[in-house]
Structure 1
Amino acid sequence: MSRIGYARVSTIDQDLETQIVKLKAEGCDIIRSEKVSGASRDGRAELATIIDFLRPGDELVVTRLDRLGRDTRDVLNLIYECEQKAAFVTVLDPHVSTRGEMGHIVLTVLGMVAQMERRFIKERQREGIEQAKRQGVYLGGKARLDHQKVKDMHEGGAGASEIARAVGCSRMQIYRILQSNR
């Protein structure tokens, strides 16, 4: 039986260290991490790898339920997939596990709360942007990557992998930038 930790943050500039330290302290043999949105399971390769390799008796451990996902259906589907492999899911904060029937109920409720919280965040964000636009102070989102540097490196013969390492992002992001500059 293995305890497998999963750590996730939504953006590249967020830090995974706090989650990793907690998972190590819980005795996780393996810890997989990624920097990708939890809004859906798309693009979450590390989580998919964990699910694929779960064996009977293994335990998937996350620090908080929203690290698994912010959509109730996705979270419940993940838990179901783990159960189909005779594996368990444990959330550290608050401490809940699928080892008992009450754990299933609590995780379902927590999943619903996480989804509701995500909707509230999006609504507040949308309202704030609309208000800023009305006041004429909305300038749009801040560019996280230097698009000109990406374009210059590409024109200089650098490949997507090399550019991605240089600017600190994924190759997919490089492809998107290059395609948007055409």
Structure 2
Amino acid sequence: MLVGYARTSTLEQEAGLEAQVRDLKALGCEKLFQEQVSSVAPRDALEAALEFVRSGDTLVVTKLDRLARSVTHMGTIIETLEKKGVALRIVNLGVDTGTPTGKLMLNVLGGVAQFEREMMLERQREGIAKAKGEGRYKGRKPTARAKADEIKALSAQGMSMNAIALKLGIGKGSVHRALSTTKAATA
């Protein structure tokens, strides 16, 4: 059985998730797991997919970065799949671990991907340091603070912090901080 897994990092990437789901269905995936969550957050749908697959199945993803956050994480996923007798297919790379060549290619490509990510992060840190030195770095614009009044209004209507976070597209912690600031100011 072909089992598909699709993921995007944010709710704003809805079109990307839809494209992955469309591609996985076109490839013949009979069961699909999908989620919109950061690669560093808990990924319940990925865990469910890994639990679901059985010997002889193939887990299919459209891109490697939709599946693993690092070479180590990829290794853990592959080890889990191998123990269960499940192959991994990465569509855009043409890699299928059901073959020895596919296993080799995945390890090589995973190493290159992690190297590139580390280089990108290093360039980003250098750019930020340079901008700070020149007084041009302002940091990320605070999105939750700009929505503080809306957070307070929704909370006053009895909406839960989780529901507010989902509605406004911000983190639950940001909602908690906005509401805590309100309570501290009135105390």
Aligned residue-pair number: 175
Which consecutive aligned stretches of 4+ in structure 1 deviate over 6 angstroms post-superposition?
none
Question: What is the CA-CA distance between 1:161 and the residue it aligns to?
Answer: 3.9
1:87-142, Cα deviation, whole Å (9 max, x unpaired)? 11101111111111111111111111121121122112212221221222222113
1:43-74, Cα deviation, whole Å (9 max, x unpaired)? 11110000011111111001111211131111
Which residue number corresponds to residue 78 of structure 1?
77
Which residue number corresponds to residue 36 of structure 1?
37
* TM-score, normalised via structure 2 length: 0.84
Which residue number corresponds to residue 183 of structure 2?
none
Question: What is the CA-CA distance between 1:11 and the residue it aligns to?
Answer: 2.7
Q: Is it true that 1:134 corresponds to 2:133 in the alignment?
A: yes
* TM-score, normalised via structure 1 length: 0.86
User: Which deviates more, 142-151 or 48-57?
Assistant: 142-151
> What is the alpha-carbon distance in structure 2 between the residues aligned to residue 89 and residue 122 of structure 1?
28
Return the structure number with greater helix share: 2
**Gaps (5+ residues) in structure 2?**
181-187
Cα distance change of structure 1 residues 138 and 155 upon mapping to structure 2, 3 Å threshold: farther
> What is the alpha-carbon distance in structure 2 between the residues aligned to residue 37 and residue 178 of structure 1?
18
Q: What percent of counterpart residues are identical?
A: 38
Q: Give 1 or 2 for the bigger CA radius of gyration.
A: 2
Q: Is it true that 1:26 corresponds to 2:27 in the alignment?
A: yes
> What is the alpha-carbon distance in structure 1 between the residues aligned to residue 119 and residue 11 of structure 2?
23
Which residue number corresponds to residue 56 of structure 2?
57
Cα distance change of structure 1 residues 10 and 118 upon mapping to structure 2, 3 Å threshold: farther
Describe how 1:1-182 pairs up with structure 2 within 5 A. 2-14=1-13, 15-38=16-39, 40=40, 42-145=41-144, 146-148=146-148, 149-168=150-169, 173-174=171-172, 176-181=173-178, 182=180
Cα distance change of structure 1 residues 52 and 59 upon mapping to structure 2, 3 Å threshold: same
* Contact 1:70-1:118 within 8 A present in 2 as well: no
Q: CA RMSD in A?
A: 1.9
